[in-house]
Amino acid sequence: MNPQFNLQRIGRFIYRDLVLLKGSITTAASVIAVLFFIGSLFDLRGDLRFSAEEFVGMLRPVYIIAGILFTFAILREAHYKKGNHFYFSLPISPLERILAIWCASSLLFTVVFTLFGMAVGQVAIAVASFFSSVDFHLVHPFTDSYWSLIKFYTLIQPAFLLGAISFRKNRIGKTLFLVILTVTAVFLFNVILCFLFSDGSFDLFESDPFTTQAFAQASDEYSSLGSFLFGFVLGPLMLLACYYKLIEKEV
């Protein structure tokens, strides 16, 4: 194998994974298309418009769930007892492999899923305009809410990618359990900060504790640090951990 970094190998590896998963992708796309079509028709009721916010609201849960499932599916072959030897003997370096997996499950998935959702929504608008008083209009999803959704998925996806690589059995369940533990730890850490900033007077069980001055002060003091750690450290660290986990499995 040529150790030199090669973009063509990455492209071929992505194509290989997509071909192997074409049956599952076709089935999932059919189900999502039906859900998007029905959801688009419901959103057209009342104001007879399919707004960008309505599109993002419909896209959000399906996009995140489908992305996580696709992340686990694309690494399914790596955990086969008999087939994983062939998988890890393919002529591609660990760096190229992890980049191919991440590009397919994050960048490529996001672009294709967005265009697919827009196309289905546009078909729903065309059908509704033909049979009702809905005026034909274009779907424009690229709002602040859309980019916030993409940012959120891009940040959390490496954690699920690491779980998809690390665990062999019950991969989704184990990964979700660790994510829940992490979220709980962060929540408890914020509660401790609120308690400290309020000199011990913070009460978690007040009617509206998250509007207290202590919570606001804790957010102001640590929000920038938290954003940096989560956005610029945790994400790359998860990808780096995925890289070394793949090297470990190849050995």
This prediction has a pTM of 0.80
Within-domain flag for 107: yes
Within-domain flag for 182: yes
Within-domain flag for 230: yes
**Max avg pLDDT among 7-11, 65-69, 164-168:** 65-69
The two tokens of residue 214 are 């202590």
**What pLDDT digit, counting tens, does each position of 13-50 carry?**
999 989 989 999 999 999 999 999 898 888 777 677 77
User: Residue 236 above 90 pLDDT?
Assistant: no
Helix (H) or strand (E) holding 132: none
Burial of residue 56, with CB atoms counted within 10 A of its CB: 0-12 exposed, 13-18 middle, 19 or more buried: buried
Q: How many domains does the chain have?
A: 1
Query: How many other CB atoms sit within 10 Å of the CB of residue 49?
Result: 13
> Would you report the helix, strand and coil content of the chain in percent, each value rounded to 5?
80, 0, 20
Domain carrying residue 96: 7-250
Within-domain flag for 1: no
Within-domain flag for 2: no
Q: Which 3-state string (H, E, C) describes 195-210?
A: HHHCCCCCCCCCCCHH
What is the pLDDT at residue 1?
47
